[in-house]
Amino acid sequence: MPRCLLRLPFAALLAATIALGGVSPSAAQKAYDPGASDTTIKIGNLMPYSGPASAYAIVGRIEQAYFRMVNDQGGINGRRIEFISYDDAYSPAKAVEQTRRLVERDEVLLVFSAMGTPSNAAIQKYLDAKKVPQLFAATGATRFGDPANFPWTMGWQPPYQTEGRVYAKYIMATKPDAKIAVLYQNDDLGKDLLKGLRDGLGAKAAMIVAEDSYEIGEPTIDSHVLRLKASGADVFISITTPKFAAQAIRTAARIEWRPLYVQTLVSASIGAVISVAGFDNAQGLVSAAYNKDAADPQWRDDPGMQRFHAFLDAYAPDVNRTDNSAVYGYGAAQCLVEVLRRAGDNLTRANIMKQAAALQGYAPDTLLPGITVDTSASDFHPIERLRMMRFSGDRWELFGEVIGGELDK
Amino acid sequence: MSALQDSVTRAPAVAAVPKGNIALGYLTSTMVVILLFAVPLFAKNFVIFQMTIWLIYAIAILALNILTGGSGQFSLGQSAFYALGAYTSAILMEHFGVNYVLTLPVAGALCFAFGFLFGLPALRLSGIYLALATFALATAMPQILKLGVFEHWTGGVQGLVVTKPDAPFGLPISQDVWLYYFTLVISIVIYVFAVNLLKSRTGRAMMAIRDNEIAASAMGVNVSLYKTLAFGISAGTTGVAGGLGAIAVQFVAPDGYTIQLAIALFLGMVVGGVGWLPGSLVGSAFIVFVPNLAEEVSKGLSGAVFGAILIVVIFLVPHGSRQVAYKIQDIVRKIRK
DSSP symbols for B169-231: GG-SS-HHHHHHHHHHHHHHHHHHHHHHHHHSHHHHHHHHHHH-HHHHHHTT--HHHHHHHHH
Whether A147 and A175 map to the same domain: the answer is: no
Confidence of residue B152 (pLDDT cuts 50, 70, 90): confident
Q: Are A85 and A60 in contact (CB under 8 A)?
A: yes
| Domain span at B6 | 2-336
Report pLDDT digits (tens) over B249-286: 888 988 888 888 999 999 999 999 888 888 899 999 99
Q: B70 falls in which pLDDT band (50, 70, 90)? A: confident
Number of domains in chain B: 1
Dihedral (C-alpha) B241, B243, B245, B247: value to the nearest 10 degrees? -150
| Confidence tier at B15 by pLDDT (50, 70, 90) | low
Q: Do A315 and A206 sit in the same domain of this protein? A: no
Nearest CA in chain B to A127: B250
A217: in domain? yes
Asked whether the predicted pLDDT for residue B97 surpasses 90, the reply is no
Judge if A149 and A191 occupy the same domain: no
**Best of B45, B46, B257 to mutate (most A CBs within 10 Å, chain A):** B46
What are the C-alpha distances in Å from A58 to residues A316, A368, B198?
Answer: 10, 21, 49
- A187: chain B residues, CB-CB within 8 Å: 146, 157, 255
Mean pLDDT of chain A: 88
CB-CB neighbors (< 8 A) of A90 in chain B: 255
Q: Are residues A245 and A354 located together in one domain of the fold? A: no
B44 with A121: Cβ contact below 8 A:
no
Q: Does residue A194 sit in the same domain as residue A244? A: yes
Based on the fold, state whether residues A277 and A399 are members of the same structural domain. Answer: yes
Which range of residues forms the domain containing residue A50?
31-158+300-378
Longest CA–CA span in chain B (Å) reads: 67
Together in a domain, A270 and A400: yes
Same domain, yes or no, for A277 and A398?
Answer: yes
In a domain, A264, yes or no: yes
CB within 8 Å: B46 and A105: yes
Q: Report the complex ipTM.
A: 0.76
- Residue A271 belongs to a domain with what CATH number? 3.40.50.2300
Whether residue A225 sits in one domain with residue A166: yes
Domain count, chain A: 2
Q: pLDDT, tens digit, for every residue of A258-281?
A: 999 999 998 888 877 888 899 999
Taking CB atoms and an 8 Å limit, are B159 and A51 in contact across chains?
no
Q: Name the phi and psi angles at B152, rounded to 5.
A: -60, -35
Contact present, A41 and A79 (Cβ < 8 Å)? yes
Mutate to test the interface with A, among B158, B247, B289, B296 (most CBs of A within 10 A): B158
Strand partners of residue A86: A46
Determine the pLDDT at residue A17.
47
Shortest CA gap B186–chain A (Å): 20
CB atoms within 10 A of CB A337: 19
Contacts for A3 with CB less than 8 Å, ≥ 6 apart: none
**3-state SS class at A347:** strand
Residue B294 has pLDDT above 50, yes or no: yes
pTM exceeds 0.90, yes or no: no
User: A125 and A251: one domain?
Assistant: no
| DSSP string over A225-263 | HHHHHHTT-SEEEEE--HHHHHHHHHHHHHTT---EEEE
Please indicate, yes or no, whether residues A275 and A180 belong to a single structural domain of this protein: yes
The alpha-carbon gap from B60 to the nearest alpha carbon of chain A, in Å, equals 15
Q: Are residues A373 and A394 in the same domain?
A: no
At A336-388, the pLDDT tens digits run 999 999 999 999 999 999 999 999 999 999 999 989 999 999 999 999 999 99
CB spacing of B143 vs A50 below 8 angstroms: no
**Which H or E run contains A223?**
helix A222-230
